[in-house]
Chain A
Amino acid sequence: MNVRDKILYLEKLTVSFDGFKALDALTLYVEPGELRCIIGPNGAGKTTMMDVITGKTRPDSGTAWFGRRANLIEMSEPEIVQAGIGRKFQKPTVFEHLTVFDNLELALPGTKTFWASLVARLTPAQRDRIEQVLDIIGLANQRGVLASTLAHGQKQWLEIGMLLMQEPELLLVDEPVAGMTPQETERTAALLQSLAGEHSVVVVEHDMEFVRSIARRVTVLHEGRVLAEGDMDYVQNDQRVIDVYLGA
């Protein structure tokens, strides 16, 4: 395997909580521009893996590299964000008391110190970028409304938009379609697919229909390890996968 071309290298990651191994020597690679889906039963280690990548949890052993430049294990959460990894959490956490536009403004990359923000003015280029993202996530007409008034699906898109503002190379998306209507799910699938290519996207999702509709490559986690990896048809026909997950 040509290791140089990957955007994310996770090798032999182990994380244990009070003796319970959430990750057990997990090894996983992600290609640039790929749209990867991670599936697996509860407790398989999906969220812990995301936590390790974003610096929220430190592994007991193993390595995590973002491209060849950034050793994720030694970086703080903000540093990892600055390096180009964006994460969308399961529960939409947009800033309810700010407008859609302001939510995106806060997600702009750049200096984020108190004193810089105190005097910050939007440049035309930044304004254009916000408009561009508003178009991508389909909320251009809602730019002035408070985020608290958005529908559930719209909040999810806004949050994806906030990730896009930071122009991340790698997007981690936690259960994007949980609680969405079929129409919203469809639009989310289109949105994520349009992002792949320019960005690498890793999606954790339970909804198998959704995974089938977007994924080219699927990784199945089980008890902190990779159980199987391949396209959806391959994975669905793998006997071990059927035993622990799909068959259940």
Chain B
Amino acid sequence: MFSDRGGTVLLAILVAAGVGAAVLNLAVPPSSALHVSTYVLTLVGKYLCYAMLAIAVDLIWGYCGILSLGHAAFFSLGGYAMGMYLMRQIGPRGVYGDPLLPDFMVFLNWKSLPWFWLGFNHFWFAAFMMAAVPALLALVFGWLAFRSRVTGVYLSIMTQALSYALMLAFFRNDMGFGGNNGFTDFKDILGFDLHADSTRVVLLLVTCLALAATYVACRKIVDSRAGRVMASIRDAESRTRFLGYRVESYKLWVFVFSAAVAGIAGALYVPQVGIINPGEFAPINSIEVVIWVAVGGRGTLYGAAAGAILVNYAKTFFTSALPEVWLYALGALFVLVTLFLPRGLTGLMDGLGRAHERAGQDLISREADG
């Protein structure tokens, strides 16, 4: 099915990570050195959600040339949709014991559930909204922006502003999304205890599956003729328009799809980390995603996933070992990659692979000569 080596490796690693983490967490006793702690499980799940987000960004940036600096907003909206479901699952077990209203509403003296919270007690409804809300926002935003032929840095700035505006809105208590505390203290999902290791393992497995499905779907898109049109839009937009392609509609649908994927990634992220708050909308988060993709190598999909995992691993390491250095390291990383590795780590690997091949051929020809 796949001719691309990077994708095969990525999917293989995913299967290994999913199965490995599950077995090592559940079947190996905690006393053993091989035991995977719940903390690590959560960390891996988090990385995989980020990898999904990175693939979504790579699809529109690497293949269609749209640099979105607002994907954290779609990610957060998906996360909030999941958070609303999880809040309603708490039911009367909240601090105030209200059977219907989440704690923060009781605290604000609200008497009834706002209309936009209706339906979120059903998982299927919440699951639909996790993708539909980000997709709808992307549809409206994209329709306005692409139709007016806003491109390049202007579009990037607008996406950044969108994310920032949403952050400010979600910080407000009367928005009805928990203000700056957001949602937390989740109890269970679909009746399963969120604090149980088995639930965590299943969440991780679902995330592995979602990431694999995202990869396969995006690969299908970029390998289709539509994918080649996207690459043409990236390289020569007006030329593509001149061939009779409605460039705006290509950009719009890819943007919407990408936003939906980001939303699903956010929805998987929230039950694993146990909290969602307006900080997730912060502009810096969107910029970080772009750095992951750049480091991994844009326009490859698997490179974006690898970049997300590697940079976040580095972040986890740095922020505990040398917390004050992290932001500088991230900035330096971005500058260095832009200057010296324009095709990211995947470009570097390709280069090394070719050099190795050449060296091998030289050796063979030398042996033949001698």
Residues of A within 8 A of B (CB): 54, 77-78, 81-82, 87, 89, 93, 95-98, 102, 105-107, 109, 112-115, 117-120, 162, 166
The reply to whether A114 and B228 contact each other, CB–CB distance below 8 Å, is no
Output the nearest chain A residue to B238 by Cβ-Cβ distance.
A93
The reply to whether B228 and A106 contact each other, CB–CB distance below 8 Å, is yes
The distance in angstroms between the C-alpha atoms of A118 and B249, with both chains bound, is 13
Output the nearest chain A residue to B224 by Cβ-Cβ distance.
A118
CB distance from B99 to the nearest CB of A (A): 46
The reply to whether A95 and B246 contact each other, CB–CB distance below 8 Å, is no
Q: A95-B236, A95-B239 are in contact. Are A113 and B224 (CB under 8 A)?
A: no
User: Of B228, B246, B253, B254, which contacts A98 at CB under 8 A?
Assistant: B228
List of A residues within 8 angstroms of B235 by Cβ = 95-97
Q: What are some 13 contacts across the A-B interface (CB < 8 A)?
A: A78-B241, A78-B246, A89-B239, A95-B239, A96-B235, A98-B232, A106-B229, A112-B245, A114-B253, A114-B254, A117-B224, A118-B224, A119-B224
Does B250 belong to the interface (CB within 8 Å)? yes
The reply to whether A120 and B224 contact each other, CB–CB distance below 8 Å, is yes
List of A residues within 8 angstroms of B213 by Cβ = none
User: Of B221, B226, B232, B249, which contacts A95 at CB under 8 A?
Assistant: B232
Output the nearest chain B residue to A147 by Cβ-Cβ distance.
B235
Does B309 belong to the interface (CB within 8 Å)? no
User: Of B221, B240, B244, B249, which contacts A166 at CB under 8 A?
Assistant: B244
Q: Name which of B221, B224, B239, B249 has the most chain A CB atoms within 10 A of its CB.
A: B239
Q: A95-B235, A97-B235, A98-B231 are in contact. Are A106 and B243 (CB under 8 A)?
A: yes
List of A residues within 8 angstroms of B225 by Cβ = 105-106, 117-118, 120
User: Of B221, B236, B244, which contacts A112 at CB under 8 A?
Assistant: B244
The distance in angstroms between the C-alpha atoms of A78 and B244, with both chains bound, is 5
Ordered nearest first, which 4 A-B pairs have the shortest CB separation?
A117-B226, A120-B225, A117-B225, A93-B239
The reply to whether B242 and A81 contact each other, CB–CB distance below 8 Å, is yes
List of A residues within 8 angstroms of B250 by Cβ = 114, 117
List of A residues within 8 angstroms of B253 by Cβ = 114-115
The interface size of chain B toward A, counting residues with CB under 8 Å, comes to 22
List of A residues within 8 angstroms of B254 by Cβ = 114
List of B residues within 8 angstroms of A89 by Cβ = 239
List of A residues within 8 angstroms of B246 by Cβ = 78, 112-114
CB distance from B352 to the nearest CB of A (A): 21
CB distance from A111 to the nearest CB of B (A): 10
List of A residues within 8 angstroms of B245 by Cβ = 78, 106, 112
List of A residues within 8 angstroms of B231 by Cβ = 95, 97-98
User: Of B228, B239, B249, which contacts A113 at CB under 8 A?
Assistant: B249
Residues of B within 8 A of A (CB): 221, 224-226, 228-229, 231-232, 235-236, 239-246, 249-250, 253-254
User: Of B221, B236, B244, B249, which contacts A93 at CB under 8 A?
Assistant: B236
The reply to whether A162 and B243 contact each other, CB–CB distance below 8 Å, is yes
CB distance from A155 to the nearest CB of B (A): 12
List of B residues within 8 angstroms of A77 by Cβ = 241-242
CB distance from A101 to the nearest CB of B (A): 10
CB distance from A114 to the nearest CB of B (A): 5
CB distance from B241 to the nearest CB of A (A): 7
User: Of A54, A105, A109, A166, which contacts B228 at CB under 8 A?
Assistant: A105
20 extra interface residue pairs, beta carbon distance < 8 Å, beyond A106-B225, A106-B245: A54-B242, A78-B241, A78-B245, A78-B246, A82-B244, A95-B228, A98-B231, A98-B232, A106-B228, A106-B232, A106-B240, A106-B243, A112-B245, A112-B246, A113-B246, A114-B226, A117-B250, A118-B221, A118-B226, A120-B225
List of A residues within 8 angstroms of B242 by Cβ = 54, 77, 81, 87
CB distance from A71 to the nearest CB of B (A): 19
CB distance from A95 to the nearest CB of B (A): 5
CB distance from A161 to the nearest CB of B (A): 12
List of B residues within 8 angstroms of A106 by Cβ = 225, 228-229, 232, 240, 243, 245
List of B residues within 8 angstroms of A113 by Cβ = 246, 249
Q: Name which of B232, B241, B246 has the most chain A CB atoms within 10 A of its CB.
A: B232
List of A residues within 8 angstroms of B240 by Cβ = 95, 106
CB distance from A133 to the nearest CB of B (A): 14
CB distance from A67 to the nearest CB of B (A): 19
List of B residues within 8 angstroms of A97 by Cβ = 231, 235
CB distance from A8 to the nearest CB of B (A): 18
The distance in angstroms between the C-alpha atoms of A224 and B243, with both chains bound, is 28
Output the nearest chain B residue to A78 by Cβ-Cβ distance.
B244
Output the nearest chain B residue to A82 by Cβ-Cβ distance.
B244
CB distance from A126 to the nearest CB of B (A): 11
The distance in angstroms between the C-alpha atoms of A93 and B245, with both chains bound, is 15
List of B residues within 8 angstroms of A112 by Cβ = 229, 243-246
CB distance from A10 to the nearest CB of B (A): 20
Q: Name which of B221, B235, B249, B253 has the most chain A CB atoms within 10 A of its CB.
A: B235
List of B residues within 8 angstroms of A95 by Cβ = 228, 231-232, 235-236, 239-240
The distance in angstroms between the C-alpha atoms of A166 and B229, with both chains bound, is 16
Output the nearest chain B residue to A54 by Cβ-Cβ distance.
B242
CB distance from A81 to the nearest CB of B (A): 5
The reply to whether B236 and A114 contact each other, CB–CB distance below 8 Å, is no
